[in-house]
Structure formats: C-alpha cells, structure tokens
Amino acid sequence: MVATLQKTDLVNLFDDTATAPERLAKRMAGAGLCSRREAETWINAGRVKVDGQLQLTPAITVTGDQRIEVDGKPLPMIDTPRLWRYYKPRGLVVSHKDEKERDNIFDTLKQQYGDNLPRLISVGRLDLDSEGLILLTNNGLLARYLELPATGWTRKYRVRVHGQVKAEHLKELGRGITVDGVKYRPVIASLDRQTNSNAWVDIALKEGKNREIRRLMEHFGYQVSRLIRTSFGPFTLNKLEDGDIAEVRPAILRDQLGLKPDRASDDSAATPQQARKRQKPHASHQRQKTRRNPNRT
C-alpha cells in the first residue's frame, strides 16, 4: 500500500547505489513506467518477465540486479528523482489518458519539449477548469509520497467568486462542514478583496477532496469563476506564468524532503554542461506569448 512508504524508502530513491529488495510493482512504478496499481494489473495480465520467467502475481520481490521486461522491453533505469513546478493552464486535463480525448498537460509538454523531458507523473491533480501550480516528477514513488496527507504539505489557492462574501461563512469553513453527506475538514479561508460583483478569497487546506473548494463555495451560494493554486507545500508559483515549467534544483528538493545534502546533486558543484541540462526546460525558454497574471481580476 502507498501509505507504507517510509522515510527510508525516500532515502533509497535518491541513492543510486541502493539495491534493497522491493516488490515488483513498486520497482515498475519507481521507474516511471506506470502507477503501482497499473503495474499490478500488467503483471496479472502476463505482460511482465523477471530474468526471462513470466510473472503472473505481483507478490514477488526483486533486486536491482535482476532483469525485468515489460511487453518484451527492458524496464527503464530508475533515474534519480527530479521535480518540476508547472503552471497548469485552464482547459487541460491532468491525466495521461482521458476517455473524452481532451487535451492534457502531458501531451502538451511533449509537443513543446519533446525528449528534453522524461515521462512525467503529476503530484495530485487540478480539475479541467482550475489553473496554477502542479508538481511533476519522473518518479512514481516520490509522487505518491508527496501526495500522502502524512507529508503534511499545505496547498494554497486564490479563488474568485461572484457575490458578496460573508465573514461568518469563512469562519464556518474554518470549523469544518458537511455538504451533501460529505464531511469536509476545516480549511483556512480569508477574504482578500471585495468588489461590488465579485471577491477574491484565499484558501489553504492540507487534504483536498475532488472539487472540494468549488463545492464548499457553492454550498454558500458563491459561484467560482476562477481557481488558482498558488503553492503546494514549500513550492510556489513564484514567477511562473501560464504554461511555464521550471525544475526544482536537486539540492533544494532534498532539503525540503528532509534529506541530507548531496553536493553532487547541487548545481553549484556541477559542470556548466550538467547545470544547463538540469535547468532545462525553464520558464525563460518558453515561447513568446501573451501572459496572464494570476493576480489580476
């Protein structure tokens, strides 16, 4: 189960020499090939071999020196986990596959950067009509770890709603409410700006349910016209604008995860060629286009 992912597992993700045995599905997810659940399905379907032997159950432990094949192809090498900040535009789905065949962030990034980006996995999601910060990683286990409520990272949003926002409604959100039989935990909500027809509200929560903010606002009669995630834990939009992406420096990622510094992972200790490679793609390499300011009304 994802909930069993411990800090020691996280340390091993960043250790190229770590060869501790682990479950087959976990190894496949760590390689960024698929999710852990998808890996179990693929194994049950007879698509995976270990050392040339077909495996029909995910209840098998493997080590780093064993040969794993999926659909006849070697499992990709597990790269050192990396993390990107991405300003998700409105109108894009956060999914590799969509039954309605709507445009998604992964195809959009692939078209824009090609092989300059590895296969990416999102840390959580934002719905179609929401925008703002979403974290992307090349490592499935890191994504699961960052999604866990136990990680304790707060997500912050700016929300524009129609109408006059009442202070008592925001206080009620701070106590936690139940909407249509669904119990929502307390969230921190404060009024940022009020005009005659709409308002901007700042909201912070640690564990968000599907479309939670929209449902909470609509419960009080406030129709959401814009929803922007501004931060996820210690990572913020900063200067990112619509469609921009920037990699988090390895040393900063390790520090925010509470891991010991690794000089070799810091850009300051890398060759200019290595540093440039790590920094791409960055917001400064974006195509020229009209920008949208997330703070505008």
How crowded is the C-beta side of 61, counted as CA atoms within 13 Å? 4
SS3 293: coil
The string of DSSP codes covering 250-271 is HHHHHHHTTPPP-GGGSGGGS-
N residues, the chain: 297
C-beta pairs of 223-226 under 8 Å, 24+ apart in sequence:
223/161, 223/162, 223/163, 224/159, 224/160, 224/161, 225/160, 225/161, 225/162, 225/198, 226/131, 226/158, 226/159, 226/160
Asked if the peptide bond before residue 261 counts as cis, ω within 30 degrees of 0, the response is no
C-beta pairs of 252-257 under 8 Å, 24+ apart in sequence:
253/81, 253/82, 253/83, 254/14, 257/10
Q: Which residues are identified as catalytic?
A: 127
Taking the C-alpha atoms of residue 19 and residue 243, their distance in angstroms, rounded to an integer, is 38
CB neighbour class for 271 (10 Å; exposed up to 12, middle 13-18, buried from 19): exposed
Residue whose entry in the numeric block shows the structure tokens 């340390």: 11
CA nearest to 248, candidates 267, 271, 230, 262:
267
Instruction: Evaluate whether 146 touches 154 at the Cβ level (below 8 Å).
Output: no
